[in-house]
A and B are shown apart, each in its own frame.
Chain A
Amino acid sequence: QKEVEQDPGPLSVPEGAIVSLNCTYSNSAFQYFMWYRQYSRKGPELLMYTYSSGNKEDGRFTAQVDKSSKYISLFIRDSQPSDSATYLCAMSRWNNNDMRFGAGTRLTVKP
C-alpha cells in the first residue's frame, strides 16, 4: 500500500463548477498537509497547507483534513479555465522534511 493515494483522474468539469480533489494516506504520523498545483512543463507551486485536522480557506480554495479518516480534500469553487493543471497532495511529519506526494490529479476546466 502506498503511503499516499490520489486518484490521477483525469477530471474534466465545466467552468463555474465546484471541484473536489482528494487524497488518502496510511501514515498517522503525518502532521502537515499540502496541496501543490503543477502546470504543464512547470514545477509544482504551493497552493495551501494545513496543520493537523481542520479546514483552511483561501479565496476560491478550501483545504480540509480529517486525520481520523486519514483523508484530505481540496475544494475549488467557481472553477476557471486557468485552474486547469495537475493538483498534487503532499504531507510530512513534524521533524522530517521528507514530504510524500500523491500521484497528482489532472484537472481540466472547460470554458
Chain B
Amino acid sequence: EAGVAQSPRYKIIEKRQSVAFWCNPISGHATLYWYQQILGQGPKLLIQFQNNGVVDDSQLPKDRFSAERLKGVDSTLKIQPAKLEDSAVYLCASSLDRDRDSSGANVLTFGAGSRLTVL
C-alpha cells in the first residue's frame, strides 16, 4: 500500500511570509493528524481530523495556523504569518479509524515530513 505523501519536503521562507503544506493519507484512513516536530523534540499534535471534521485542535496556534481536510481525504496546513519559532518538521500521519484498529492500538502511519526553515 502507498504511504502517506507530503509536499513540499523542504521550504525556506522569511518571517512574516506564508507557507502551505499538503498531505495525502493512506487510502481508506479516516483519521488524519498534523504534528509539529521541533529539532531535538518529539512530535506535538497540532490538529486531528476524523474524515473532514476536526476532532482536536487544542494545540493549534489559531492566530497563525489553519488546516483543512476537504472531502475527507487530502489536507493542507497553512501558516500565515510565519515566525522564527515555527521552524520545524511538519509531519502528517493517518490511521485506520478514530478509535482503534482490530488489535486495539492506535496505529499511526507517518509521512516523511515537510521541513520548514523560517529566516
Q: Identify which of A12-20, A39-47, A64-72, A73-81 touches chain B.
A: A39-47
- List, sorted by A's number, 5 A–B pairs whose CB atoms are closer than 8 Å: A6-B42, A42-B113, A44-B110, A101-B42, A102-B42
Also in contact, A101 and B104, with CB within 8 A (given A43-B4, A43-B113): no
Among B4, B40, B107, contact of A8 (Cβ-Cβ < 8 Å):
B40
4 closest A-B pairs (Cβ-Cβ)? Answer: A101-B42, A43-B110, A49-B105, A101-B43
- With contacts A51-B105, A97-B95, A101-B43 known, what are 5 further pairs, Cβ within 8 A? A43-B93, A43-B113, A44-B110, A45-B109, A98-B56
Interface residues on A, range: 20 to 34
For the complex formed, measure the closest distance between the CB of B87 and the CB atoms of chain A, giving whole angstroms: 15
Query: Which A residues form the contact surface with B (CB < 8 A)?
Result: 4, 6, 8, 32, 34, 41-46, 49, 51, 88, 90, 92, 95, 97-104
Residue of A nearest to B44 (CB): A101
Count: A-B pairs, CB below 8 Å: 61
B19 within 8 A of A: no
A104 with B42, Cβ < 8 A, contacts A51-B105, A98-B48 known: yes
| Residues of B that sit less than 8 Å from A by CB | 4, 31, 33, 40-45, 48, 55-56, 91, 93, 95, 98-99, 104-113, 115
The winner among A8, A43, A45, A46 for most chain B CB atoms within 10 A is A43
Contact of B106 among A8, A45, A97 (CB under 8 A): A97
Task: State the CA gap A46–B103 with chains docked (Å).
Answer: 14
Residues in A with CB closer than 8 Å to B99 are 95
Please give, as numbers and ranges, the residues of chain A lying within 8 Å of B56 by CB-CB distance. Answer: 97-98
Closest to B45 in A: A98
Contact A43 B105 (CB under 8 A): no
Flag if B107 contacts A49 (CB, 8 Å): yes
User: When the two chains form their complex, are residues A99 and B113 in contact, meaning their CB atoms are under 8 A apart?
Assistant: no
Known contacts A43-B4, A43-B93, A43-B113; A99 and B40 CB within 8 A of each other: no
